[in-house]
Amino acid sequence: MDKRTAIIASAERIFEAEGFRGIGIDRIIAPSGVSTRTLYKHFGSRDGLVIAVLEARHLAFMAQLAGEALPADPIGSLFDTLRRWVEVHGARGCLLLRAYHEYAEANEAIVLLVQRQKVAFQAEVTRRVQAALGRDEAELASQVWLLLEGATAAASVSRASVINDAKGAALVLLGGVRARRL
């Protein structure tokens, strides 16, 4: 693993467990064994590292979604992917949204990055809804996205099985839209 990747990986673990803004640089770089100079060489600033971590996290989740060929159940598989993600990464809520809230008044670049990432995720949900129905259903896509985001948050304070409950709700909504169009 190269130094840049090692720094991102160790910073992601620390940010996930402890948050973003209350962690000192020394604490962030200690697990990767690099110097402060190396951190600044690769990321320019502490906030540059935060941006790199958020980009890596988003790309990893989107790659996991894309790794599935469009399945027979394009809506349900979104929730299955989320459940597998939570099983591996833990149920601590959305790292991107936590960064958004911590940096809302402090760093516009981080806020805009998270907004773009959420728009990209919404676009994937919309694409899956279109695949499931063979047509655009913006309202259903928004509802499914809200269920996914809500399940992510709820799993952090409840249990991961709420993701299955959200999947069931999404499939009921999908069935209702299908029934209306017959």
Per-residue pLDDT, averaged over 84-91, amounts to: 91
Q: Which long-range contacts (CB under 8 A, 24 or more apart) does 47-51 make?
A: 47/103, 47/107, 47/109, 47/110, 49/7, 49/8, 49/11, 50/11, 50/15, 50/20, 50/99, 50/103, 50/107, 50/110, 51/109, 51/110, 51/113
- Show Cβ contacts of residue 107 under 8 Å, excluding neighbours closer than 6 positions: 47, 50
Domains and CATH numbers, the chain: 3-180 (1.10.357.10)
The pLDDT score that the predictor gives to residue 31 is 87
pLDDT higher than 70, residue 138: yes
Q: How far apart are CA 46 and CA 36, in angstroms?
A: 10
pLDDT higher than 90, residue 99: yes
pLDDT higher than 90, residue 130: yes
Per-residue pLDDT, averaged over 86-106, amounts to: 94
The pLDDT score that the predictor gives to residue 182 is 62
Per-residue pLDDT, averaged over 104-132, amounts to: 96
- Per-residue pLDDT of 6-59, as tens digits, reads 999 999 999 999 999 988 888 988 888 889 999 999 999 999 999 999 999 999
Rounded to the nearest 5°, which phi and psi values hold at 178? -60, -45
pLDDT higher than 70, residue 115: yes
> Quick one: pLDDT band at residue 139, thresholds 50, 70, 90?
very high
Token readout for 57 is 């996290």
